[in-house]
Amino acid sequence: MADRHSRSADVSTGGPGVTSSHARPAGATASTGVLDGQPGGNAPVPPDFRINGGGLGGGGSLPRRKGFGAESMFRGLTLAAGTMVLVIIVAITVFLIAKAVPALRADDANFLTETDWFANDSPPRFGIAALAFGTVVSAVIALVVAVPIALGIALYLSHYAHQRIATTLGFLIDLLAAVPSVVFGLWGVIVFVEPVRDFSVWLNKYFSWIPLFGGDGPFGRSLMLGGLVLAIMVLPIITSLSREVFMQTPTANEEAALALGSTKWEMIRTAVLPYGRPGVIASVMLGLGRALGETIALAMTLGFINEISPNIIKNGGNTIAANIANGFGEAGEIGRGALIASGLVLFTITLVVNMIARAIIYRRREFTESAA
Amino acid sequence: MTATTLPAPGQSPKLHTKKLPSVAFLGVAVVALGLSAAICYGTGIGGWVLTLVVGLVLYLVGIFVAVNAVEGRRSARNRTWSALIHSAFVLAILPLASVVWTLVSNGLDRLDGDFFLTSMNNIGARDPNGGAYHAIIGTLEQVGIAALITIPLGVLGAIYIVEYGRGRFTFVIRFFVDVMTGIPSIVAGLFVLAFWVLIVSPWFNDGAPVFSGFAAALALSVLMLPTIVRSTEEMLRLVPAPLREGSYALGVPKWKTIMKIVIPTALPGIVTGIMLSIARAAGETAPVLLVAGGSAAINFNPFSAQQGSLSLFVFQQAGDASRFAPARAWTAALTLVALVLILTIAAKLLARRNRIPR
C-alpha cells in the first residue's frame, strides 16, 4: 500500500511535466546526459571512497593491501555461494529441457492434449492432459477442504484460545508440517481409505445425480482420497502463516473496533480479516504450490487411471508427480525423457505459483514495515 | 467461555440486555443431536457420523435462532461464528489424532532388535522378519553428505545476502531463495537424474549411468539449500549492529568480523535452521526413489551402487504384496517420524533457549 501511495505521488508530480509538452522530458534527459558527461572524472570517486570505507576502518596509514586480499577472497566466496541459488534454478530448467526435448520429438501424439501415457511403446504416445487435470483437481479439493478449516484454526489460535494453549498448539502444528509425506501416504492408503470409501458409497447412493459423485464403483482410492490427504498435509502450512498474519494485526485497530461496540466476530471481520487478507492469499498460494508438487502421498493413495472425468469418488485419478514416481521404475530411455518433460511442466507451474505468492508476501512486508 | 468473549465490560446489568443462560446452549445441543439422530436413523440415510454432522449443523442453526430471539442479531452472528471456529479446530484435530494413534499402535508390532539389525536381503514374501538396517544407513549417509555440501554453501550465501549484497542483484537472490523453497521434491530428483545420473556419472563408469546415494544427497541438498540460506539470513540480521561496529572500530577487517563476531553470535539460531532443514530432508522420498534406486541389501558406499533410505523403505513396503510388509512399513514410518520429530523438537528447544534479544 505504501508502494502504491508513493507511485501515485510520482504520477502527480510527473503530471505537469507531461502536460507542458515534450520539452520538459527531453530537457531532463539532456541534463542527465550533461551530468554523466561532465563530471566523468568525479564519477569513479564515490565507488573508490565506498570500497575504502567498506573494507577498512578508514585511516590511510592502515595496511590496505594485505587486508584487501583476504577480504576480496571471502567476498568472492560468499558471492559465489549466493549466486549458486540462481545457478541451480537455471540449471534445473536447462537440464530438464535438454532431457525432455528428445522424448517430445519422439512423441507420436500431442503432448498437451493427449490423455494416455504410453511412453515406452513404439511409437511412444503420451500427453499430460489427464495428469494435469488430476493434479489440478486434487489440489482444488485439498484447498477447498483445507482453507476454511485452516483459517478457522488460525483465528482460534490467534484470537480465541488461551495464550498458553495457543502456544502449545502452534508448536504442535509446526511439528505436523515436519511429518514426512510418506507417513501421510501410508496412513491414507491403509487407514483413511476405509472411512472415505464408506463416505463415497454414501455419496453415490444419495447424490449420484451430481456428476461428481456418479458412477458405479469400485470406490475408495479416488481423487477425493488423494485430495483429502493433501488437505491434511497443507493444513499446517496455511494455518501457521495465516496465524502469524492475524497475530500481527495492530492492537490499536482491534481495540478501536471493540471500543465502537462491535462484537468479537465484528471485530475480526472489520479489523483482523482485512488486515490479514494479503497474507492469507499468500499462504493459500504456498499451500497450492505444495499440493501441486506433492508426490509420494498421492503416489500411494491414487488409483492410477489416466482419464479426464468429472467423477471424483471412483477409483482412479493420477497426477503429474505421482505418475513420475510410479512410472519411473519401468521407464526406458524415451519414458524417462517423457517423465522429465512432465516434470518440467510441473516445475514451471509451481515456480509461477510460488513467485506470485512470494511477490504478495514481499509487498505486504513493505506495508507492515511502513505501518509499524 | 461465552462470558469472556463478550467485549463489553458491562458489569452493571442495566447496560446489558437479556443474556441467554449457558444452560440454554447445552439444551440446544441436546435437542439438535436428538433431532438429527431421529432424522438419520428414522429415515435410514446414515449412521452415527452423519448424526454428528447433521447435529452440528442443527446446533449452529439452533443457537443462531435462540440467541437471535433473546440477545439480538449481532450477538447471534457472533456466537455462531465462534462455534464454527471452535468446531473447525476439533475437525482438524480428528485426522491428526488418528495419524498419531495408528502410527504408534501399528508401529510397535515390529519394533524389535531384528528390525534395526537386519536388512531386507533375501527376505521373501513369506518371511515375517527382515528389517531396515540398510535403509537407516542410507538415510544417515545421504542426509550427512547433503548437510556437508549444503551447510557451507547456505551459510556463505546468507552472509553474502546480509553483509555484502546491495541492490537489485541481492533482491533477486533473496526472491529466488524464497521461490526455491517451494520447488517440488520430485523436480529436484528429476534435475539430479538428468544432470548427475544420466549426464555426469556415465563419465566415471564407462558410459553407464550410476544410481547412488551420492546422487540422492545432491537432490536433498537442492532441497535443503533454500531453507538453510533463509534461516541463516534471518539469524544474521538479528545480530546487533554495535557488535559489528565495535569490531570495525578496532580495525578488524570485515571478513574477520563476520567469522569471529557475527557468526558466533548467531550460531545457535543457525544450528537450529540447519537441524530443521536436515529433518525435512530426512523425510523426503521422491528424490531418493528417482536417483538412488533403492536396494534390499546393505550398501555402505554412497558413491557406487544403489542405496535405500528409510522413507523409500516405507514406500516400497507399503506397495509390497507380502502380508508382512505393512507391519514393516508402519515400524519404519514410526522410526522415521521419531527421527524427524526428535531433530525438530531439539532444534526448536535450542532456538527457544538461545534466542538473541532484539
Dihedral sign (CA B8, B14, B17, B18): positive
Cα distance from B212 to chain A (closest Cα, Å)?
A: 15
Residue of A89, A175, A264 lying closest to B180 (CB–CB)? A89
In a domain, B12, yes or no: no
Give yes or no: residues B65 and B156 share one domain: no
pLDDT, tens digit (0-9, with 9 covering 90-100), for A141-181: 999 999 999 999 999 999 998 888 888 888 888 888 888 99
Number of domains in chain B: 2
Record: contact A79-B96, CB cut-off 8 A: no
Q: Which of B37, B33, B59 is nearest to B46 (CA)?
A: B37
Record: contact B314-A186, CB cut-off 8 A: yes
Q: Which of A178, A197, A177 is nearest to A188 (CA)?
A: A197
pLDDT, tens digit (0-9, with 9 covering 90-100), for B213-252: 999 999 999 999 999 999 999 889 989 999 999 999 999 9
Give the SS3 label for residue B293: strand
pLDDT tens digits, chain B, 358 residues: what are they?
444 455 555 555 555 567 778 888 888 888 888 888 888 888 777 777 888 888 888 999 988 988 888 888 888 899 899 999 988 888 888 888 888 899 999 988 888 888 888 888 878 777 888 888 999 999 999 999 999 999 999 999 999 999 998 888 999 999 999 888 888 999 999 999 999 888 888 888 787 888 889 999 999 999 999 999 999 998 899 899 999 999 999 999 899 999 999 999 998 889 988 988 998 899 899 999 999 887 888 888 888 888 889 999 999 898 887 888 888 999 999 999 999 999 888 888 887 776 655 4
Dihedral sign (CA A104, A110, A112, A115): negative
Q: Which residues does B15 contact at the CB level (< 8 Å), separation at least 6?
A: B8
**Which residue, of B46, B68, B102, is where some domain finishes?**
B102
ipTM of the complex: 0.85
What cell numbers appear for B186 in the block?
A: 520430485
Q: Which residues does B183 contact at the CB level (< 8 Å), separation at least 6?
A: A92, A293, A347, A350, A351, A354, B222, B223, B226
Cβ-Cβ contacts under 8 Å between A and B: the total is 282
Peptide bond before residue A16 is cis, with ω within 30 degrees of 0: no
* Residue B302 CB burial class (10 angstroms; 0-12, 13-18, ≥19): buried
Interface of B with A in 300-339 (CB under 8 A): 311, 314-315, 318-319, 326, 329-330, 333, 336-337
Start-end of H helices in B161-309: 167-180, 185-192, 201-204, 213-238, 241-249, 254-257, 263-282, 286-291
The neighbour count for residue B9, using CB atoms within 10 Å, is 8
Interchain contact A232–B (C-beta under 8 A): yes
Record: contact B253-A362, CB cut-off 8 A: no
Give yes or no: residues B120 and B98 share one domain: no
Residues on chain B touching A82 (C-beta within 8 angstroms): 156-157, 160-161, 165, 170, 173
Q: Which of A280, A267, A319, A315 is nearest to A298 (CA)?
A: A319
pLDDT, tens digit (0-9, with 9 covering 90-100), for B169-216: 999 999 999 888 888 999 999 999 999 888 888 888 787 888 889 999
Residues on chain B touching A80 (C-beta within 8 angstroms): 156
The neighbour count for residue B237, using CB atoms within 10 Å, is 11
What pLDDT does A305 receive?
82
Cα distance from B108 to chain A (closest Cα, Å)?
A: 15
The enclosing domain of B281 has a CATH number of: 1.10.3720.10
Q: What is the largest CA-CA distance in chain B?
A: 91
Residues on chain B touching A181 (C-beta within 8 angstroms): 283, 285
Give yes or no: residues B84 and B128 share one domain: no
Residues on chain B touching A321 (C-beta within 8 angstroms): 184, 186, 286
Annotate chain A with three-state secondary structure: CHHHHHHHHHHHHHHHHHHCCCHHHHHHHHHHHHHHHHHHHCCCHHHHHHHHHHHCCCCCCCCHHHHHHHHHHHHHHHHHHHHHHHHHHHHHHHHHHHHHHHHHHHCCCCCCCCCCEECCCCCCEECCHHHHHHHHHHHHHHHHHHHHHHHHHHHHHHHHCCHHHHHHHHHHHHHHHHCCHHHHHHHHHHHHHHHHHHHHHHHHHHHCCCHHHCCCCCECCEHHHHHHHHHHHHHHHHHHHHHHHHHCCCHHHHHHHHHCCCCHHHHHHHHHHHHHHHHHHHHHHHHHHHHHHCCHHHHHHCCCCCCCCCCCCEECCCCHHHHHHHHCCCCCHHHHHHHHHHHHHHHHHHHHHHHHHHHHHHHHHHHHHHHC
In a domain, B230, yes or no: yes
Split at pLDDT 50, 70, 90, the class of A42 is very low
Best mutation target among A78, A189, A238, A336 (most B Cβ atoms within 10 Å) is A78
Give yes or no: residues B98 and B120 share one domain: no
In whole angstroms, what is the distance from residue B13 CA to residue B157 CA? 63
Residue of B82, B225, B326 lying closest to A190 (CB–CB)? B326
In a domain, B208, yes or no: yes
What is the residue extent of each domain of chain A? 117-371
In whole angstroms, what is the distance from residue B35 CA to residue B27 CA? 12
Interchain contact B350–A (C-beta under 8 A): no
Start-end of H helices in chain B: 2-5, 22-43, 48-70, 73-107, 113-117, 133-159, 167-180, 185-192, 201-204, 213-238, 241-249, 254-257, 263-282, 286-291, 310-318, 325-353
**Which residue, of B78, B102, B126, is where some domain finishes?**
B102
Residue of A89, A296, A300 lying closest to B176 (CB–CB)? A89
Dihedral sign (CA B230, B231, B237, B243): negative
In whole angstroms, what is the distance from residue B6 CA to residue B1 CA? 9
Query: At residue A289, does pLDDT exceed 80?
Result: yes
Q: What residue of A is the nearest CA neighbor of B276? A: A178
Half-sphere exposure (Cβ direction) of B324: Cα atoms closer than 13 Å: 12
Give yes or no: residues B94 and B129 share one domain: no
Give yes or no: residues B154 and B182 share one domain: yes
Record: contact A321-B286, CB cut-off 8 A: yes
In a domain, B139, yes or no: yes
Residue of B77, B82, B182 lying closest to A289 (CB–CB)? B182
Q: What residue of B is the nearest CA neighbor of A191? A: B102
Residues on chain B touching A70 (C-beta within 8 angstroms): 253, 255-256
Cα distance from A29 to chain B (closest Cα, Å)?
A: 23
Q: Which residues does A262 contact at the CB level (< 8 Å), separation at least 6?
A: A270, B7
pLDDT, tens digit (0-9, with 9 covering 90-100), for A199-257: 888 888 888 888 888 777 788 888 999 999 999 999 998 998 899 889 888 999 999 99
Q: Which domain holds residue B307?
A: 116-353
Q: What residue of B is the nearest CA neighbor of A348? A: B183
Residue of B173, B195, B315 lying closest to A91 (CB–CB)? B195
**Which residue, of B102, B137, B153, is where some domain finishes?**
B102
Interchain contact B183–A (C-beta under 8 A): yes
Cα distance from A302 to chain B (closest Cα, Å)?
A: 12
Q: Regarding the domain delimited by A117-371, which CATH topology (the fold level of the hierarchy) does it fall under?
A: MetI-like fold (1.10.3720)
Contact between A326 and A304 under an 8 Å Cβ cutoff? The reply is: yes
Record: contact A88-B290, CB cut-off 8 A: no
In whole angstroms, what is the distance from residue B120 CA to residue B139 CA? 15
Record: contact B184-A55, CB cut-off 8 A: no
Interchain contact B8–A (C-beta under 8 A): yes
Give yes or no: residues B79 and B216 share one domain: no
Give yes or no: residues B171 and B225 share one domain: yes
